[in-house]
Amino acid sequence: MKRGKLDTMVSRNRIRLLQFLMGLVFFYLLFMSFEIPLVYRTGYGSVPDDGTFGFTSDTLPRPFLLESEEEMADKDAPRRPSDDTFLVSHGSPHRTPERRMREFKKVSGLVFDESTFDRNASKGEFSELHKAVKHAWVVGKKLWGDLESGKIVLQPKTKTENQSETCPHSITLSGSEFEAQSRILELPCGLTLWSHITVVGTPRWAHLEDDPKISILREGDDSVMVSQFMMELQGLKTVDGEDPPRILHFNPRLKGDWSGKPVIEQNTCYRMQWGTALRCEGWKARADEETVDGQVKCEKWIRDDDSHSEESKVIWWLNRLIGRTKKVAIDWPYPFAEGRLFVLTVSAGLEGYHINVDGRHVTSFPYRTGFVLEDATGLSVNGDIDVHSIFAASLPATHPSFAPQKHIEMLTQWKAPSLPKKNVELFIGVLSAGNHFAERMAVRKSWMQHRLIRSSIVVARFFVAMHGRKEVNIELKKEAEYFGDIVIVPFMDNYDLVVLKTIAICEYGVRTVAANYIMKCDDDTFVRVDAVIDEAHKVQSDGGSLYVGNMNFHHKPLRHGKWAVTYEEWPEEDYPTYANGPGYILSSDIAEYIVSEFEKHRLRLFKMEDVSMGMWVEQFNRTKPVLYHHSLRFCQFGCIEDYLTSHYQSPRQMVCLWEKLMHQRRPQCCNMR
Ligand SMILES: *[C@@H]1O[C@H](CO)[C@@H](O)[C@H](O)[C@H]1NC(C)=O
Ligand SMILES: *[C@@H]1O[C@H](CO)[C@@H](O)[C@H](O)[C@H]1NC(C)=O
Ligand SMILES: *[C@@H]1O[C@H](CO)[C@@H](O)[C@H](O)[C@H]1NC(C)=O
């Protein structure tokens, strides 16, 4: 009895205490909700935290615009972390660029003058590129204007609640249904681990090929008999305005290959660039070669004779029956034959795609950089083949959501620090495309976390142009507002125009950031920030002009093939000495020169941005000597031990490289995909 009474008293007191605390919390919240906006509005150091800066229609003058630059520099000087003082002593003594732009812009300040592109167009020289620039600028500027004014809005999402409807576990198509869908099987939610697709088809008989792309390979004969088909896993939803990426291109050539033998070629086409083809020519992959989930990349087949196969099968079977040999190697013929039905299954393993034909493993293709399984949203089969039916099963049950923001993690820890008021040692401009959400996120989580970047001695920004798909642009704008590390270059994105982004990087690096060095890289480049600065300091002892990277000497333009450079585009026989695009550094005087030449309309533009840079530096070198420094440690392809930058790194590899740097303190490569 007594205890019970005591208990109720205690609990009554507790309730009162709770009520009191809740009251306190309420008043605190009330107070904060009035106070915080005030704090933010007055603090001029809070540029990126105030995510709306640069995008809103808020036209109130910013308080910091009124500050003079010297005052800012004075105020800031004591804040420089002591352990980075080496930068002060080594920092280029020559001259630091003057910061001309008085605000830290999130849109590139590169000035386009449309009329100049018209004026010289009649001369014919480089006019195609200039025309393209102008078009991209006009379209892109309008797009960005609409986006900023909020004219572009996303339609409310069409119902996606019914998961079973949007993400089927399996899909079955008959041959005629497949034909009716223009030979594309749509996979609404992509693939997942161990999803598999089975195609039943019959290769058609060889026909005379008149496609010059194929027949050119066989000079002498004026006709070639060809039978081949292409099965491709494509990323229908990942990119718009470009060809869809071919995540797996599987191309059996029964007849007509230049080798004269039946082969299977496999490849990927990422951002409209073909990779290196994996050719299976009937030799089993060597034992020391990389395997895929324990499977060889290419199985052996009988290279010449089909008639042997029946015989050898029988012999093998007899040997097994008699029990004479435990292990008998049996060779199968090439898995496809004209007019003969086959059943092909492609499945998604841990390390790559596996292809089985008629129940036997034929090839395995390791996953390549840049794709995740759910990106494979379509399967197309084209060429000399009749498809009888297609089955896809073990497809992802839950919708991974193709919304690009799935890659974006809105956490304050990944936000860029605000731009410092002092000059910056190194500015890193990262070329990126609107839909490369995953790539940017991986950069943010890896080398952008370097202490030199967190302390604003080095500043890194992504340079992104307008994308063809409005959903992407809307997401991009949100991303830019949140992270504060994206500079919009307001023209329509186009492969031939990346050169403009390079100029925009120079402009931003010189005018907005006022950096001593300017570096350009790609969003699949991993940068060892401190090592790169050390390299520049080591080379530049006298404060002269500098161009550092993986140099190409006396390279010649490719004059044939898909990526040919015409004589109109590049009349000279040689390219100038130029650093490979995935990572190079300039001293700021060169960058300044480039921007000013561009604004005077004297800058020659070429579609390859790295060659263009070589050309501009060569021009600069005529008036003031430039120190060219070549280092293979700026890797063009992949990664080497002790790299300064490594390239073609997938988002996973980026994070892996960063972890190795952090935990093992060693620049080691991550060779998984
Ligand atoms: C979802 O779609 C399936 C197939 O169309 C249907 O059978 C099911 O009733 C739907 N569920 C809901 C909740 O609408
Ligand atoms: C355009 O023409 C003028 C006059 O001929 C020339 O000075 C200028 O360099 C040209 N600009 C470009 C970009 O070709
Ligand atoms: C740079 O200029 C110097 C002196 O004019 C010249 O010797 C050198 O070859 C030039 N370098 C390049 C790469 O053009």
CA distance 661 to 644: 12
> Residue 46's closest CA among 482, 403, 584, 417?
417
Take residue 132 and report the two structure tokens written for it.
Answer: 């393209």
Tokens 């809105």 found at: 410
Tens digit of pLDDT for each residue in 371-396? 677 778 899 999 999 999 999 999 88
Dihedral of the alpha carbons of 337, 343, 358, 367, in degrees to the nearest 10: 100
CA 402–ligand 1 middle distance (angstroms): 21
pLDDT of residue 25 exceeding 70: no
pLDDT tens figures, 531-590: 999 999 988 777 789 999 999 999 999 887 656 788 888 889 999 999 999 999 999 999
Q: Which of 346-350, 417-421, 505-509 is predicted least confidently?
A: 417-421
Q: Which three-class secondary structure state does DSSP give residue 249?
A: strand
Least confident window among 165-169, 324-328, 355-359, 382-386: 324-328
**Ligand with smallest separation from the Cα of 600:** 2
**Ligand 3 atom closest to Cα of residue 618:** 14
Q: Which two tokens stand for residue 371?
A: 């794709």
What is the amino acid identity at position 109?
A: G
Instruction: Supply the residue whose CA is at minimum distance from atom 9 of ligand 1.
Output: 162
Classified by CATH at the fold level, domain 167-393 comes out as: Jelly Rolls (2.60.120)
Q: Give the residue, by CA position, lying nearest to ligand 3 atom 7.
A: 625
Which residue stretches of 378-492 are H helix? 437-445, 451-454, 470-483
Triad 17, 19, 23: Cα angle to 5°: 115
Q: Residue with the nearest Cα to atom 4 of ligand 2? A: 120
238-252, 326-340, 594-608: lowest mean pLDDT where? 238-252
Model confidence band, residue 46 (pLDDT cutoffs 50, 70, 90): very low
Q: What is the pLDDT of residue 80?
A: 36
The alpha carbon of 425 and the centre of ligand 3 are apart by a number of angstroms equal to 26
Q: 621 C-alpha to center of ligand 3: Å?
A: 6
Which of 160, 163, 165, 171 for mutating ligand 1's site (highest number of atoms within 8 Å of CB)?
165
What pLDDT sits at residue 18? 66
| Alpha carbon of 241 to ligand 2 centroid (Å) | 32
Task: Calculate mean pLDDT across residues 299-315.
Answer: 68
Ligand lying nearest the CA atom of residue 113: 2
- Edge-to-edge strand list for the sheet holding 385-393: 171-174, 385-393, 196-203, 342-348, 352-357, 360-366
The rounded distance, in Å, linking the Cα atoms of 336 and 254 is 7
Q: From ligand 3's centre to the CA of 590, what distance in Å?
A: 14
Please name the residue whose Cα sits nearest to atom 1 of ligand 2: 120
Residue nearest to atom 8 of ligand 2 (CA): 602
**For ligand 3, atom 14, which residue shows the shortest CA distance?**
618
DSSP states along 109-138: -PPP-HHHHHHTGGG-TTHHHHHHHHHHHH
Q: Across the chain, what does the average pLDDT equal?
A: 77
Predicted local distance difference test score (pLDDT) of residue 563: 67
Residue 81, pLDDT above cutoff 50: no
Establish whether residue 642 lines the binding site of ligand 1, counting it when its CB lies within 6 angstroms of any ligand atom: no
Whether pLDDT at 510 is above 60 = yes
- Residues 441-470 have pLDDT tens digits of 999 999 999 999 999 999 999 999 988 777
Q: Taking the model in full, what pTM does it have?
A: 0.58
pLDDT of 345 over the 80 cut? yes
Mutate-to-test residue for ligand 1 from 158, 164, 169, 170, highest number of ligand atoms within 8 A of CB: 164
Atom number in ligand 2 closest to CA 604: 13
Atom of ligand 2 nearest to the CA of 126: 14
Which segments of 290-335 does DSSP mark as H helices, in order?
Answer: 308-322
- CA-nearest residue, atom 6 of ligand 1: 165
Which atom of ligand 2 lies at the shortest distance from residue 125's CA? 14
Mean pLDDT of 186-205: 92
Atom of ligand 2 nearest to the CA of 119: 1
Q: For residue 651, what are the CA distances in angstroms to 273, 407, 441, 444? A: 18, 10, 8, 10
Of the listed ligands, the closest to the CA of 619 is 3
CATH 2.60.120.200 domain position(s) in the chain:
167-393
Tell me whether residue 447 is exposed, middle or buried, using C-beta atoms within 10 angstroms of its C-beta: 0 to 12, 13 to 18, 19 or more.
buried
Distance of CA 578 from the midpoint of ligand 2 (Å): 24
At 667, the pLDDT band (50, 70, 90 cuts) reads confident
| 599 vs 151: which has the higher pLDDT | 599
CATH number belonging to the domain at 101-150+405-663, selected among 3.90.550, 3.30.420, 3.90.640, 3.40.50 = 3.90.550
The finding on whether 618 has its CB within 6 A of some atom of ligand 3 is yes
Which ligand 2 atom is the nearest neighbour of the CA of 130? 13
> Residues 38-64: what's their mean pLDDT?
33
Domain limits, CATH 3.90.550, in the chain: 101-150+405-663
Does 337 score more than 50 pLDDT? yes
Q: Which residue has the tokens 């996120």?
A: 441
Nearest CA owner, ligand 3 atom 12: 618
Atom of ligand 1 nearest to the CA of 163: 1
Region 502-516: mean pLDDT is 93
Q: Which residue from 115, 118, 120, 598 has its CB within 8 A of the most atoms of ligand 2, so it is best to mutate?
A: 120
**What does each C-alpha distance from 364 to 283, 351, 612 come to in angstroms?**
14, 9, 39
Cross-strand pairs, 228: 253
Q: Which residue has the tokens 């609404």?
A: 188
How many degrees, rounded to 5, is the angle at CA 17 between CA 16 and CA 22? 100
Percent of the chain with pLDDT over 70: 69
Higher pLDDT, 210 or 175: 175
Q: Which ligand is nearest to the CA of 159?
A: 1
Query: Is the pLDDT higher at 62 or at 336?
Result: 336
What pLDDT, in 10s, does the model give residues 610-653?
A: 999 999 999 999 999 999 999 999 998 888 888 999 998 888 88
Q: State the pLDDT confidence band at 224, using cuts at 50, 70 and 90.
A: confident
Nearest CA to 255 out of 180, 306, 195 is that of 306
Supply angle C-alpha 408, 409, 410, rounded to 5: 110
Q: Within 6 Å (CB) of ligand 2, which residues are found? A: 119-120, 601-602
User: Between 59 and 120, where is the model more confident?
Assistant: 120
Those residues whose C-beta lies under 8 Å from the C-beta of residue 19, and which sit 6 or more positions away, are: none
Strands 378-383 and 458-466: unpaired
Which ligand has an atom closest to residue 164 CA?
1
Q: Identify each DSSP E strand in 176-307 by its residue range.
A: 184-186, 196-203, 207-209, 224-234, 246-255, 263-270, 273-274, 278-280
Ligand 3 binding pocket mutation candidate from 548, 575, 621, 628 (most atoms within 8 A of CB): 621
